[in-house]
Every structure is written in structure tokens, then in C-alpha cells.
Amino acid sequence: MTTFDQDMLDELNLLLKFPDNSLLQGLKIHHDASQTMVNAASRLYSKGLITLPDGGYLTDLGIDLADHARHIQSALCSTKGGH
């Protein structure tokens, strides 16, 4: 695979929603959340990246991937020449 598919993008976006300032804070996907977010949470849980199918906390692997996702987002959002 050479690109991110939509499911991967949804999962990355959900990982970015987890608080990055404290490992003691989690995330709860509420019943009125979009089906896209519910499905992304379920996939992240199945992959062992979060502790509950509706959010919870990031696992150690989830923390690492969320950190990488933030770095990618930051690099892609930076202005040209603003390294």
C-alpha cells in the first residue's frame, strides 16, 4: 500500500483527539458521535491502540503512534521554510 486510505485517515484523526498533555486523560466516544468515529475507535481497539472499543486510554503503542501522528501533522501544517 502506498497511500493512507480513508479508514487510516479516520484512525489518525481520532488518535489526534486524545489529550497529549497527560496520559491520565482518556477519550470517550459518545453515542451521538459520527459512525465514522465509532468505526475508527473500534478498529483502533482491535489493533491494540486504545483500551476500550469506545475510547478509553491510549495503550503504549497508541501513545507512540499518536506522537508520530502529531509530528506528521505538525510537519505537514508548517509553513514553507518554517522548519
pLDDT at 23 over 90: no
Q: What count of other Cβ atoms lies within 10 Å of the Cβ of residue 32? A: 5
Inside any domain, residue 71: yes
Q: What phi and psi, each to the nearest 5 degrees, are found at residue 28? A: -120, 125
The Cα 78–Cα 27 span in angstroms is: 27
pLDDT (tens digit per residue) in 26-81: 899 988 899 999 999 999 999 999 999 999 999 999 999 999 999 999 999 976 65
- Domains identified in the chain, total number: 1
Residue 41 contacts residue 54 (beta carbons within 8 Å): yes
In a domain, 83, yes or no: no
Does some domain include residue 82? no
In a domain, 45, yes or no: yes
pLDDT at 83: 53
Range of the domain at 37: 6-77
The one-character DSSP state at 80 is: T
